Chains A and B, each alone.
Chain A
Amino acid sequence: MKGSRVVAPEAAVKRRAIFPWRVRAEPRIADVPHWLPPLVSLGALLLALVLGGIVLAVVGGDPLQTYGHMVKAAFGDVGVLSDTLTKATPILLCGLSCSLAFRAKLWNIGAEGQFFLGAWAASAVVLWPVLPATTPRVLMLLAMALAGFLGGAMWGFVPGVLKAKLNVNEVLTTLMMNYIAISWNNYFIFAKWSELGFQMSPKFPTSAWLPRLADYAQQVPLFAGLTTHLGLLVGLVAAGILWWVMYRSKWGFEIHLTGDNPKAARYAGINIARNTILVMMLSGGLAGLAGMSEISGVVHRLQGAISPGYGFTGIIVAWLAKLNPLAVVPVSILFGALILAGREIQPSGIAKLLQGIILFCLISSEVLLRYRIRVVQVQRG
């Protein structure tokens, strides 16, 4: 026994430290203080602006001037502020759609397709026509909203059932159904409802238009020319209701639990399959409502280019808002502003690039909430 070598612990391993300091990430073993998450998010946003500024400087722009211009282009006066809010409306509804699904850990990346189906179903009310053009405005709009919601919900139902009953990956099904939705839409605008061979439907009768602020310019002169429409209010109300559902209702508790630990949810007697389908339908319905609000409030006809990717932006917005419906509101306004300001900036990719950098920074900053970063001195053997 004496002759044999004792296996010594790690201390025997001598390694020369090149740099005397090491950064070490230790998992947090206690609760994160309440003030930390917002602070980290704000820090990440600032860092993103700095990084974006560097890119701007490299391509030869003046970062401060550019940012200043962008802020002015999005929030400079009542007119552009109204445009920003108009842009923010579909993003808001799509962001809510994704927040709900993601809370249940259902990766619905099909808000784009659900948006298109919602737009199509709402248009069908007018163009099929389900209701004549002379229908009273309130009835017409309610019917369109219902149709839009159901259209989106149907597009969420299919992946929901496949997931619940056959455990088919919802990422793939929702993504693929986006393409189906867009092509479905194209078929109608190219063939069925095409106006004079153009790839768009005829303009809706005014009974199918969501009221805008500009409609009330006679009563309130300040509203003249403002594009913000009733869809924004719908979005804000939806955000409030969804917050209550997600944070205060029994069903929201079930969804949160299922998302965090499906096995524990099953053990607690929760019907996971039913909830999966319901969440996907409600999520799809919200995105469908976004589609209805966009064609009825802004475009006033069905056409191909009704979304510059609102459904996908919704994914980002939901993440940035940490899936909190109330936080989705300011985040979607920020993204509405970025889209609007992006039109003022050349090259036009800058706004998208900034979006990407912001997302990257915010998601990376999650690490700070999970780990405590320590700088430690390396001890020399």
Chain B
Amino acid sequence: MSQATTDALLEVEDLRVAFAVGGREIRAVDGVSYRVEPGQTLAIIGESGSGKTVGCRAIMGLLPAAAMISGSARLRGSELIGLSDAQLRKHRGSDLAMVFQDPARSLNPTMRVGAQITEAIRTHRKLGKPQAKAEAVELLRLVRIPAPDRRFHEYPHQLSGGMRQRVMIAIALACRPKLLIADEATTALDVTTQAQIMELMLELQAELGMSLLFISHDLGLAASYADEVVVMYAGKIVEQAPAGKLFGAGGTVRMRYTRALLDAIPHIERAAHTELPVVSGRPPDPADLPPGCSFAPRCAHAADDCLAKAPALAEHSPGHSWACWHPCENGVAP
């Protein structure tokens, strides 16, 4: 892991983000490292407050100035952390683009969608209005919006949630980014629409040769669509592996928290009215993290060593890293 090769598209190393709130330091992201290879789909999974969104916003330069960011995030070898806003803007849109959870709030309600896409194109590329318009219609077609010429002139409120998210993706793709970050981009959508948007993103990824980094709370989504999965808890990565090593027939989840997440998802195979395996409590206060493993207070298998010392994330088997003193054997929680 340490022999940093330069062929990674995005290389994040020891990223830390802290906020000072009322005199207390809140460590939202606490030493996170991962790589996104060209053409790869990486999923970052975690509950609200796990630091998954804050980490990605730090890379995009979208955090308030009060955020204390350290570590490194290199996009094709060039450092993003510490860049000025103007420098970052060159990357945003052209190399890096982001799609957010709520398309209704990300779009301007008073502007026609076509104008919003055209604006994104002309911000980054020197194109005349007619060319930009043609390009925008092309983008609407690319994200499989039916009748793009007509939709171009519509307002966001005239579109369904799924259509609005397609428009957001069209805007994100305006300058053909190398990396698309999707932050809970399908969470607000119906299952059928979610499947359509996920498949659209994977198709576009293959068509345009992008990498995709998607952030979600849904482990099922990661299993179905990601190549590589990163699980975060209380600001740290607690498990990381290719999806095939975690899920399905040959897969084994090792970290207790990942196991708990997986077990808590209702399955259609489960009989009705059965009790779901639950973990009590909730994630720790980021300003008052326990000295040992952050998950220990909620973990049924926590022993004295878990409470005393935090396990480091280590590659225990090729490509599969986890941070746990007493991992699950063969993926099953005894």
Q: Does B associate with A?
A: no
Q: What is the interface of chain A, defined by CB distance below 8 A to chain B?
A: none
